[in-house]
Structure 1
Amino acid sequence: MRPTLLDPLFAPISSLSGVGPKVASLLATLLGKEDADDARVVDLLFLAPFRLIDRRNQPGIALAPQGAIVTITGRVDRHQPPPRGKSNLPYRVFIHDATGELALTFFKVKGNWLEKALPVDEEIIVSGKVDWFNGRPSMVHPDLMVKASEAGDMPLTEPVYPLTAGLSPKVLRKAIEHALERLPALPEWADATLALQQSFPPPTAAFMGLHHPRDEIGIDPQAPARRRLGYDEFLAGQVSLALVRQKLRRVAGTPVKATGQMSGAIRTALPFSPTNSQEAAVRDILNDMAGDQRMLRLLQGDVGAGKTLVALLAMAAAVESGGQAVLMAPTEILARQHHATISKLAAAAGIRIEVLTGRTKGKERDAITERIATGEAQIIIGTHALFQDSVSYKNLLLAVVDEQHRFGVHQRLRLTAKGISPHMLVMTATPIPRTLVLAAFGDMDVSKLTEKPAGRKPIQTVTVPMERVGDIVDRLQSAIAEGKKAYWICPLVEESEVSDLMSAEERHATLVAALGPDIGLVHGRMSGPEKDAAMMAFKTGETRLLVATTVVEVGVDVPDASIMVIEHAERFGLAQLHQLRGRVGRGDEASSCILLYKGPLSENGRARLNILRESEDGFLIAEEDLRLRGEGELLGTRQSGTPGFRIASLEAHADLLEIARKDAAYLLEKDPDLTSERGQAVRTLLYLHRRDEAIRFLRAG
């Protein structure tokens, strides 16, 4: 049960004074919640301000430096609206103080609100950036305008928060202040020596400090309040991952006795020999599975490094030992593709393979689940349909999870919750830096595949500005005429008012107009069967050019595709660009990747595209991406099951993550059920961070 102490924080956001249904739904959108009911008071506490308006700088009009943000108290002299019919000209209001005159400048003014807000002869306070032009100062759209008579309670420093359309800063600020009023005196869950060493304020004071920064330093990630809350977030994550580990360890694994009979047949049938790092990974996995503790291993390998073969050899070992193995993929396309690849190789060993996805229905589904239950099906490949209640296994020894970052820790737990305790191998093609592995997976054992399989050709990568898109279309025309296949990746599905990015549907239309009708289209809004049909047509060569959004990023295998065009490459994460690039260069042909960008690029943008041009090492690229962009974006979207931290930052607080990991391990070793005084406080921390799942483990354990 959640401690009653936290009840006020878990009340719906609509329980705050001044938050009606409309504001509640705007706040929910801002907080990234599906609907207003999901948003709680506590979520507002974790919304960190990103800059500070400091109104203490009040030099007087004539002494205001160019470009500085200043606060001016002055009297309104006159209004100068634009001439009739010239609404593109600015509206100016002139004010003066003892030192000089200032023009307040507004664009696209509707109605007479300025006359009401700034009546002539009224003393007012304005705050904003001053620009000097021809010896005259002006302030465009001040951040703040208030009559001096009403400014009594105006704060001198004010934090600025992220906003969403329709939500005013004033309303948000008020809601956050009401949320802070509900903050109870939280117990101290940090180790006392550590808190002293790091100058951590107590938890309640840290929230207050986060929302009431005194100066610019208070907004910095290294401010004591932010470091404290960042540490708490890491600690909650590390304790819950450690509890999952502890639970997985507590349920003994079944030792897998590999005979090498089936894997030997598979190896004989291979047209190439495995790389050294593939062999090393297989050795690690077989060693882990031979023990009576359950394996929990992460297999990281760049696109095309041959993870599927490693997984197959591990699954063959489970079958040799008289058991079953499953391979869970995040999408239908991927599951069926794994099935196609693995069936070919496993046929040599006579292993019986089934595929089960959400689209398997009726009699066919019943027949498959029957074969799984009797053990006739030895390797089962599918989506999370594999773990629905209607599916039971005869003897599941190994679960392989592909593209783990698309599955949260929760799905990993559901497996264990079914009373099944297979060994687990988690595969990802996203090379994840060590800090992120720690944050997302805790102390998992990691195997890395660092070599490209024999015969892989390097991919030539070039950057081209959008203005030259016509040349690219011409190049494609001749490449397709020579029988080559190409992808064209777009960031959006359909044209939207807000964005000037070219959408997949619109780009498809322009390419059809230029190159003829045989062009495929795949995007996330299409149904499963539609996507599969478009992919199939591309694979078989019915279409030679496929326009797609990033749905092709994960694992779709078309060995003879040799050209990849990525539009608006500056909008993608490096790791994601690297993944997309890995869709080509899988066959015998030399391949190329064209990064189309819209200029002018920022320094950072240019640095990122250069790294891709210069390197094909996914691990190096991922480390650089983390350095340049931060962890939130690294694995694609914030929602993809990775820890999208709210206050903690892997770049700014990496030292704290390491401390939190050791602290969590030490705490659980001394107090595995969290019953001590500090243990009880840590339970409160877990609830505060919505890690209830982990606490259920304590009870179930």
Structure 2
Amino acid sequence: MPRPDLLNPLFRSLKSMKGVGPQLGALFAKFFGAPDGQDAVVLDVLFHMPSGVIDRRAQNGIAFTPVGSIATLKLHIDEHIVPPRGNTRTPLRVKAHDESGEITLVFFGAKGGWVERALPIGETRYVSGEIGFFGHDKQMTHPDYIVEPEKLDTLPMVEPVYPLTHGLSSKVLRRVILASLETLPIIPEWIGKDRRMLLGWPGFTEALRHVHAPERPSEGDIVSPSRMRLAYDEYLAGQLALAIIRATMVQSKGIERHFTGIIANRIEEALPFALTDGQRQAFEDIKTDIASPHRMSRLLQGDVGSGKTVVALLAMATIAESGAQSALMAPTELLAAQHYRTIQPLCEKAGLNCILMTGKMPAAERRKAIAGLENGTIQIAVGTHALFQSSVAFKNLGLTVVDEQHRFGVHQRLALSDKGNRTELLVMTATPIPRTLVLTHFGDMDVSVLREKPAGRQPVDTAVLSSSEYDRVINRLAARLEEGAQAYWVCPLVEESETLDVVSAEDRFAALKDAFGDKVALVHGRMSATQKQEVMEGFQAGDTQILVATTVIEVGVDVPNATIMIIEHAERFGLAQLHQLRGRVGRGSARSACLLLYNEPLSETAKARLETIKNTEDGFLIAEKDLELRGQGDLLGTRQSGMPGYRLAVPDVHKHLLEFAHEDARALLDRNPGLTGPEGEAIRTLLYLFRKDLAIPLIKAG
């Protein structure tokens, strides 16, 4: 269904508006993040929320306006004091008075006589701006508004303030927004009347008017009924899109798979440890999903080292029992190789054929692997997204397992599941994600959580030290290396920075090499994949004892013998990052230690972060705290990964509305799965407004 015609005025290019030329149009496109080669549209400015409100209603007279306040004054213009010619540093001053006192209006660099024309001597003008003080006199520097008495109604008494970008003035933005409000069509209502009455929420169009052209400051406030309404609408559109995708992937088509449990049992018997209760429960959830006629779409959340790979292997064994194949996809070749090393010996004992597909495979080996996947003799393929290239065909792909999901958006989830015939989808993430974010990004998936660490995993002793203790750290480290220990040393930057006073990985590598010689290796993100792989393999094999690194080691490298993690400038890392890095040690049977070195002075937030890491190893507690200290935007690397950032909703303030929208979206689709009738039409309009219309073609008729 095409976009409803009534929304066309909102999707018009801003360049079609009076006063928006090519230059301003290009600025808007960049500011609002329009896709390459496209213009920003009217809706973009309407969805640009104010950060505050200026109240110009106070008209108490010069004597009664406090310094620092915004005031609107009715002034009699008395005199212009023009600076001597050629003197550009002295401002032009205009003396004026009202019944209560006198004031000076100050203009720097005023050229072309416009001030004299705007404020003619002997006449009355309304001026509005911030009251300042100079010597003993009140003054106003560059008033925001100067209007003639008969045009007082053009002066905005309550004025929203907007985030701006270089080259865009608030006057221009405000003009474009007010012109955009004029074009707002009458939009069908998607929120029930009872709900709106109960919460005191206005209609959608009315809410936008309140926010952009408020009559009282409270109307545009972040917790006003209008802002609440708009935040809820944005959440509802997002949750509906996820729910529709879920319905498409899960309800529509699936295969009731039959399995015996024989191969899974063999794998369990081959494990060197007993499964945790969490692993058992997750596996039970997965078996239920696989046996049902619906498609599995499950997120397996577990902290670093909680044993997700084993659960995934049991799932793949179950799929093999049903006669189908599985693919395990990791974000890097290093991680794919590691998964392969974990599961290959277990597969062998259970009689499963498992291969590792990488970009560097010799051609003959690759041909053999592709043939095995095509004829079904290989049951499990491990690799990067190269597994999903068109040259790779599976005989019967029944399960896709994706590791480190937050690098895959919803669209990739859909594309992956198209490769097989009604494939089940299991996604694993080592980032403990708080409930609000699970709803935002994975509202279309069921969730299993692994909370305990497998038996035999040791807690990690965490200490916090000032970097002034560097020499002590080196002596202690030397003693541990003598005993055969291995250590990571993590720095925030690759090379020296002119702007930041931070020890770089390269500098630290040089210093440690002086102390420990060839025992030290360096790895960072600017190295080629091959170089990184070589260094990591050397460390894994024990050829080097200290690995100096940037955060490239955050995800997934497994070296059980490494028992020391030193993080330099720990104050510069986020909580989730510190937690992930610490998870690199404590993987063997020996006690491990993590040392957080910080530089003075510490901010309150940094102090709170380091305290949290020192006091707990529970990734979920840490993630909740991270959300509190940092806000939602960065937590999943939203900025980079095309995750839904919000424009109208402010998660810290409006997050209670997300649960609300999640339940409403599911209830709505249960009640009206085809989105038919007036209600369906209103909901489709909502999806178009919030650019979630990619979900619309997926809606099942009936």
Same fold (TM over 0.5): yes
**Cα distance per residue 1:216-270 (max 9 Å; x no partner):** 4334332111111111112212222222222223344223434333333333332
Distance 1:548 1:13 in 2: 47
Call closer, same or farther: CA 1:679–1:339 in 2, change over 3 Å: same
- Aligned twin of 1:487: 489
Call closer, same or farther: CA 1:32–1:381 in 2, change over 3 Å: farther
- Aligned twin of 2:249: 248
> Contact 2:491–2:505 at 8 Å: present in 1 too?
no
> Contact 1:573–1:636 at 8 Å: present in 2 too?
no
- Aligned twin of 1:300: 301
> Contact 1:487–1:561 at 8 Å: present in 2 too?
no
> Contact 2:571–2:602 at 8 Å: present in 1 too?
no
Distance 1:117 1:568 in 2: 54
Distance 1:38 1:388 in 2: 33
SS in structure 2 at match of 1:37 = coil
Distance 1:290 1:577 in 2: 39
SS in structure 2 at match of 1:634 = coil
Q: 271-280 or 65-74: which moved more?
A: 65-74
Call closer, same or farther: CA 1:256–1:125 in 2, change over 3 Å: same
Give runs of aligned pairs for residues 256-275 of structure 1, distance below 5 A. 256-275=257-276
Call closer, same or farther: CA 1:520–1:179 in 2, change over 3 Å: farther
**TM-fit CA distance, 1:135:** 7.5
SS in structure 2 at match of 1:330 = coil
Give runs of aligned pairs for residues 553-632 of structure 1, distance below 5 A. 553-566=554-567, 569-570=570-571, 572-587=573-588, 588-594=590-596, 596=598, 599-602=601-604, 604-632=605-633
> Contact 2:300–2:448 at 8 Å: present in 1 too?
yes
1:516 aligns with 2:520: no
Call closer, same or farther: CA 1:240–1:273 in 2, change over 3 Å: same
Call closer, same or farther: CA 1:670–1:344 in 2, change over 3 Å: same
Call closer, same or farther: CA 1:641–1:352 in 2, change over 3 Å: farther
Call closer, same or farther: CA 1:530–1:162 in 2, change over 3 Å: farther
> Contact 2:571–2:610 at 8 Å: present in 1 too?
yes
Report the residue type matching 2:603 in the other structure. Answer: L
**TM-fit CA distance, 1:559:** 3.1
TM-score (normalizing by structure 2): 0.85
- Aligned twin of 1:431: 432
- Aligned twin of 2:673: 672
- Aligned twin of 2:660: 659
Report the residue type matching 2:373 in the other structure. Answer: I
SS in structure 1 at match of 2:699 = helix
Give runs of aligned pairs for residues 278-427 of structure 1, distance below 5 A. 278-356=279-357, 365-418=366-419, 420-427=421-428
> Contact 2:131–2:138 at 8 Å: present in 1 too?
no
Give runs of aligned pairs for residues 59-208 of structure 1, distance below 5 A. 63-65=64-66, 68-70=69-71, 98=97, 112=109, 125=127, 127-128=129-130, 130=132, 145-147=144-146, 153-208=154-209
Call closer, same or farther: CA 1:146–1:195 in 2, change over 3 Å: closer
Q: Percent identity?
A: 47
**Cα distance per residue 1:601-624 (max 9 Å; x no partner):** 14x554344322222111122223
- Aligned twin of 2:457: 456
SS in structure 1 at match of 2:187 = coil
Q: 68-77 or 311-320: which moved more?
A: 68-77
1:469 aligns with 2:467: yes
Report the residue type matching 1:127 in the other structure. Answer: G
> Contact 2:49–2:162 at 8 Å: present in 1 too?
yes
> Contact 1:630–1:649 at 8 Å: present in 2 too?
no
Distance 1:399 1:164 in 2: 43
Distance 2:60 2:268 in 1: 79
**TM-fit CA distance, 1:362:** 6.1
Q: 159-168 or 232-241: which moved more?
A: 159-168
Match of 1:507 among 501, 504, 510: 504
> Contact 1:12–1:39 at 8 Å: present in 2 too?
yes
**TM-fit CA distance, 1:582:** 1.9
**Cα distance per residue 1:560-585 (max 9 Å; x no partner):** 44444545555554333322332233
Any gaps of 5 or more consecutive residues in structure 2? 515-519
- Aligned twin of 2:441: 440
**TM-fit CA distance, 1:480:** 5.8
Distance 2:364 2:106 in 1: 72
Distance 1:564 1:265 in 2: 36
Report the residue type matching 1:507 in the other structure. Answer: S
Report the residue type matching 2:340 in the other structure. Answer: H
Distance 1:670 1:9 in 2: 30
Report the residue type matching 2:436 in the other structure. Answer: T
> Contact 1:357–1:384 at 8 Å: present in 2 too?
no
Distance 2:359 2:4 in 1: 39
**TM-fit CA distance, 1:342:** 2.2
Which protein is bigger by CA-based radius of gyration? 2
**TM-fit CA distance, 1:655:** 3.6
Call closer, same or farther: CA 1:213–1:340 in 2, change over 3 Å: farther
TM-score (normalizing by structure 1): 0.85
Distance 1:650 1:395 in 2: 42
Distance 2:216 2:307 in 1: 52
**Cα distance per residue 1:499-526 (max 9 Å; x no partner):** 5364xxx712322442238441312x55
